[in-house]
């Protein structure tokens, strides 16, 4: 057995496209991978099955069952989780994919980037986190084809029998600086609460789905192509007033509106909330200004933390203390190349 260390990164989700009852494709959207935060997993040889911290043992056992590698598995799995759960950073998708790839690399088994996300039961609603794990940067996913059983909109953790949304556009990074804001004292939305909100707030009107599609696959993609800061930020602003993202923001109420206003007054543009939040984000052109903004925002009573992040690569792997390379580069079956 080899020693394999996998690093994965945080995920921002800008917004979903189509949660209406019409259209060939449902869901879809855009987002980006960012660093920090970082989530690290090391799988190595052991005389017995060990997981540290022990709180992740059942998760690792479940993943081993999904991967069909349970027989005689003597492996040590160490996790360094410098990423908060249920705050809009895509923790669970990165956790499951990082653990799975670390174990597969350690055992020298095949890794199929197309099927692994489905094998570990992630990416059912949005493909941003699962695609971002492999590719990094800015990600646009088409959404998955609607089927006869798609009569209910659900979060990824509860979606069954799906095909992973295909990657339709990717860019490694933009020359913009990114500030991440974590509001203080907010409810984290996941599990049954998230399921209930999906049921309550969907479907959205067809007209709003068309608007979201035009914003994301038209205006936002064009701005990313051109590295157009104003166009990029204006489109993100527009996404806050359409579709499911409008409903996510409305659910958070006046407190989020106040935090958005604080961020804008500090000099940030393209202010938004990742998924259900509470993580928020905004953009600025100058690195020094970004650092100054983050420091000022951290001092406000409504904000628990703020930091400057950068667009992240896809996940990386280091095998037996060798070179650090992309997980995508080392995977056995890589699917589409971008």
In DSSP notation, 230-249 reads HHHHHHHHHHTTSHHHHHHH
Specify if 285 maps to a domain.
Answer: yes
Residue 75 in any domain: the answer is yes
Q: What is the mean pLDDT of residues 151-164?
A: 66
Do the domain assignments include residue 74? yes
Position 71 scores a pLDDT of 74
Q: How much is the mean pLDDT over the chain? A: 93
270-320 pLDDT tens trace: 999 999 999 999 999 999 999 999 999 999 999 999 999 999 999 999 999
C-alpha to C-alpha distance for 249 and 272, rounded to whole angstroms: 9
pLDDT of residue 124: 73
Q: How many domains does the chain have?
A: 1
Say if residue 55 is exposed, middle or buried (CB neighbours under 10 Å; 0-12, 13-18, 19+). exposed
Give the three-class secondary structure for 33.
Answer: strand
Q: Mean pLDDT across the stretch 198-203?
A: 94
Instruction: State how far the Cα of 285 lies from the Cα of 178, in Å rounded to an integer.
Output: 9
Are 138 and 170 spatial neighbours (Cβ–Cβ below 8 Å)? yes
Distance (Å, rounded) from C-alpha 304 to C-alpha 298? 7
Provide the Cα torsion 266, 270, 271, 273; round to 10°. -160
Instruction: For residue 152, tell me if it sits in a domain.
Output: yes
Quote the CA–CA distance of 313 and 331 in Å, as a whole number.
15
At residue 39, does pLDDT exceed 50? yes
Continuous H helices in the chain: 57-67, 91-106, 116-119, 128-135, 191-201, 206-213, 221-226, 229-239, 243-265, 287-298, 327-330
Q: Which residue has the tokens 């070179």?
A: 323
pLDDT tier for residue 16 given thresholds of 50, 70 and 90: very high
Planar angle of CA 10, 29, 20, nearest 5 degrees: 135
Res 239: pLDDT: 97
Decide: helix, strand or coil at residue 117. Answer: helix
Residue 297 lies in a domain: yes
pLDDT computed for residue 337 by the predictor: 46
Instruction: Tell me, yes or no, whether 336 lies in a domain.
Output: no
pLDDT tens column, 40-55: 999 999 999 999 999 9
For residue 338, tell me if it sits in a domain.
Answer: no
CATH assignment of the domain containing 262: 3.30.230.120
Please, which residues have CB within 8 angstroms of residue 156's CB and are 6 or more apart in sequence? 93, 122, 123, 124, 125, 126
Q: Report the 10 Å Cβ neighbour count for 8.
A: 33
Q: What share of the chain is helix, strand, coil (3-state, %, to 5)?
A: 40, 30, 35
pLDDT at position 268 over 70: yes
DSSP label at residue 313: B
- What's phi and psi for 316, nearest 5 deg? -120, 160
Listed in sequence order, the residues at least 6 apart from 120 whose beta carbon sits closer than 8 Å to its beta carbon are: 63, 66, 67, 96, 97, 100
CB contact at 8 A, 279 and 142: no
Q: What is the pLDDT of residues 74-108, one digit of tens each?
A: 899 999 977 888 999 999 999 999 999 999 999 99
pTM summary value: 0.94
3-state SS of 278-308 is CCEEEEECCHHHHHHHHHHHHCCCCEEEEEE
In this predicted model, what pLDDT tens digit does every residue of 185-197 receive, in sequence order? 889 999 999 999 9
State how far Cα 330 lies from the chain centre.
21
Residue 55, CA distances (Å) to 59, 62, 64 in order: 8, 13, 16
Task: Tell me the residue range of the domain where 294 lies.
Answer: 4-330
Residue 337 located in a structural domain: no
């Amino acid at each position: 057995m080899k020693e394999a260390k996998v690093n994965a990164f945080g995920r921002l989700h800008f917004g979903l496209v189509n949660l209406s009852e019409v259209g060939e494709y449902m869901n879809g959207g855009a987002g980006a991978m960012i660093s920090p935060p970082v989530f690290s997993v090391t799988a190595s040889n052991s005389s017995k099955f060990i997981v540290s911290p022990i709180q992740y043992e059942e998760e690792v056992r479940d993943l081993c069952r999904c991967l069909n590698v349970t027989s005689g598995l003597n492996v040590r799995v160490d996790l360094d989780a410098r990423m908060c759960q249920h705050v809009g950073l895509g923790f669970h998708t990165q956790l499951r994919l990082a653990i799975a790839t670390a174990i597969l690399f350690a055992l020298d088994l095949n890794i199929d980037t197309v099927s692994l996300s489905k094998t570990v039961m992630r990416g059912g609603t949005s493909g941003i986190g699962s695609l971002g794990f492999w590719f990094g940067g800015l990600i646009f996913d088409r959404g998955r084809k609607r089927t006869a059983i798609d009569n209910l909109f659900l979060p990824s953790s509860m979606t069954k029998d799906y095909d992973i949304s295909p990657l339709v556009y990717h860019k490694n990074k933009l020359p913009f600086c990114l500030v991440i804001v974590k509001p203080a004292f907010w409810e984290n939305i996941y599990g049954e609460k998230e399921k209930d909100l999906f049921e309550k707030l969907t479907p959205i009107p067809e007209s709003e789905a068309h608007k979201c599609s035009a914003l994301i696959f038209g205006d936002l993609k064009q701005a990313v192509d051109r590295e157009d800061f104003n166009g990029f930020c204006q489109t993100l602003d527009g996404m806050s007033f359409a579709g499911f993202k409008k409903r996510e923001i409305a659910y958070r109420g006046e407190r989020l509106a106040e935090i958005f206003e604080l961020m804008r007054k500090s000099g940030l543009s393209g202010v938004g909330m990742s998924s259900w939040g509470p993580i928020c984000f905004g953009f600025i052109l100058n690195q020094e200004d970004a650092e100054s903004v983050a420091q000022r925002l951290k001092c406000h009573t409504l904000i628990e933390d703020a930091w400057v992040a950068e667009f992240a690569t896809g996940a990386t792997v280091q095998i037996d203390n060798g070179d650090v390379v992309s997980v995508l580069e080392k995977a056995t079956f890589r699917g589409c190349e971008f």
